[in-house]
Structure 1
Amino acid sequence: MSDEAQQADLTHVQRMWADDEASRGLGMEAVLIELDHAVVRMEVTPAMVNGHAIAHGGFVFTLADSAFALACNSGGILTVAAGADITFVTAGRLGDVLVAEARQRTTYGRSGLTDVTVTRESDGAVVAEFRGRSRSLPPR
């Protein structure tokens, strides 16, 4: 695929990110968007810390889910989540910057699998591993 064709494919996903109020409201930043790959970062704020003084798992999941959405939509076809699983490895804490790196592993028909690793930016520790299952929708 030419660089020009790849750039055209990203128009859909860049528009999707620009309209994503949920991710923006949590302070997420798309660091990288390319075909089948995306990196998103987010700082853990006081509103994201649970009663154990660690990042609430729902916010870690949301970060991973946002990176997943970018990676699986990067080909220019409207794609949604069909399901996802997450394994928490270590805790994020107040002030940590978490980085979610998503890679679409495979597509088969209208379905796909995308893996996301969430790390702590300061030391590279793995915070969570996420696997998303996607489904492409037919054109409207």
Structure 2
Amino acid sequence: MTDAATRPMMQNDLASAALGMIVERDEPGLAVVSMRVREDMTNGFRITHGGLVFALADTAFAIACNEDDNVTVAAGADITFLKSTVAGQTLTATAVRRTRSGRTGLYDVSVVDEHGDPVAEFRGRSLTTNRSSVE
């Protein structure tokens, strides 16, 4: 893991840790997170559960939009699934800030498989709170 692993936000993120997510890159407005798909992450059709693809994208989004000491949360998000994957594959989510104005932001997250093939596209809308992440 990179420096994001030392952030309290990620130290306390038990869900991402349980899913085996690895923070590859953490910069203001940019994050890359990967996850190897396990058997227990598949649905009844033995393909990766869509909720777990969403969780990966959401984690990258959360890292990218928490750019300063103010807690930033999701105001909403949408995902489009483009390709199914199976256990044993590695998914990588890259989140990029599109715009940030006042307390709101817009971030795009692309999820790809180990071959770079698109798996999903996620768009997240953020809201920066008045709460400090260093409290």
TM-score (norm 1): 0.87
Tell me the equivalent position of 1:133: 125
Once the 2 structures are TM-superposed, how far is the Cα of residue 126 of structure 1 from its aligned partner? 0.4
SS at match of 1:78: strand
2:38 counterpart (42, 45, 64) = 45
Unaligned runs of 5+ in 1: 1-9
Structure 2 partner of 1:88: 81
| TM-score normalized by the length of structure 2 | 0.90
1:66-115 alpha-carbon deviations (Å, 9 max, x no partner)? 00000000233210000000000001111100000001111122011010
> Which residue among 15, 37, 40 is the counterpart of 1:22?
15
Q: What is the 5 A alignment of 1:105-120? A: 105-120=98-113
Q: Which has the higher helix share?
A: 1
- Give secondary structure in 2 for the equivalent of 1:138: strand
Question: Which structure has greater strand proportion?
Answer: 2
Give the aligned partner of residue 57 of structure 2: 64
Q: Would you say the 8 A contact 1:36–1:75 is kept in 2?
A: no
1:102 aligns with 2:95: yes
The percentage of counterpart residues that share the same residue type is 50
Flag structure 2 segments of 5+ consecutive residues without an equivalent.
none
Runs of 4+ in structure 1 deviating by more than 3 angstroms, as ranges, are: none
On the 8 A contact 1:33/1:74 being kept in 2, the answer is: no
